[in-house]
Amino acid sequence: MPDIENVSLLRLREFLPYRLSVLSNTISTRIASLYDREFGLSIWQWRVMAVTGDRPGISATEIGQLTAMDKVAVSRAIAAMIQMGYLERKTSETDGRRSQLFLTPAGRDVYELIVPMALGAEQELASSLTEEEQKQLERLMGKLADAASPDRPLW
């Protein structure tokens, strides 16, 4: 007699969203502990530093767009990093609401250390895959991202 109770079967460990979540958290936590241990930076603060180092004069709103952080998180990360002496804020001369952000010399020092560290960790991670596989992964993640995009018809 077939088991009619369990019509369909769900194994969490094989469930794609779950696997992605666990993988992503493992990696993020691992890397975050590096930044934190070495420089006392959270993931959010690190993201702000990454984009500000790359685009001096950027605004908080733009940081939010580039980092997928919401504006409250951006605001808090910026405040903390100014406090730490890593960031400097000027008010735009053409728009009094807009802030323009720059790394201080101390901030740039950290940035110069952190970028190779981050790239190294990524390299370490990616090196478990062949070149070909890395490209594949990029492609597949892109497809998934499109499929999961919030401005799609509801599943």
Partner DNA sequence: GTCAAATAGTTACATATGAAACTAATAGTT
Partner DNA sequence: AACTATTAGTTTCATATGTAACTATTTGAC
**Binding site residues, DNA, CB under 7 A:** 42, 44, 59-62, 70-76, 78-79, 95-99
Closest to DNA by CB, 37 or 97:
97
Q: Of a second copy, DNA, none, which one sits near residue 98, judging by CB under 5 to 8 A according to partner kind? A: DNA
Which string of b and e fits 5-35 if b means at least 16 CB within 10 Å? eeeeeeeeeeeeeeeeeeeeeeeeeebeebb
Contact between 68 and a second copy (CB under 8 A)?
A: yes
Contact with a second copy (CB under 8 A): which of 70, 128, 131, 151? 128
CB atoms within 10 A of CB 86: 25
- Quick one: tokens of 136? 């594949």
Q: Of DNA, a second copy, none, which one sits near residue 84, judging by CB under 5 to 8 A according to partner kind? A: none
Contact between 104 and a second copy (CB under 8 A)?
A: no
Cα–Cα distance for residue pair 152/116, rounded to 1 Å? 37
Q: What angle do CA 32, 37, 38 make, to 5 degrees?
A: 105
Q: Taking a C-beta distance cutoff of 8 angstroms, is the pair 34, 121 a contact?
A: yes
Q: Contact residues for a second copy (CB under 8 A)?
A: 6-13, 15-28, 30-31, 34, 47, 50-51, 53-54, 66-68, 112, 115-116, 118-122, 124-129, 133, 136-137, 140-141, 143-150, 155
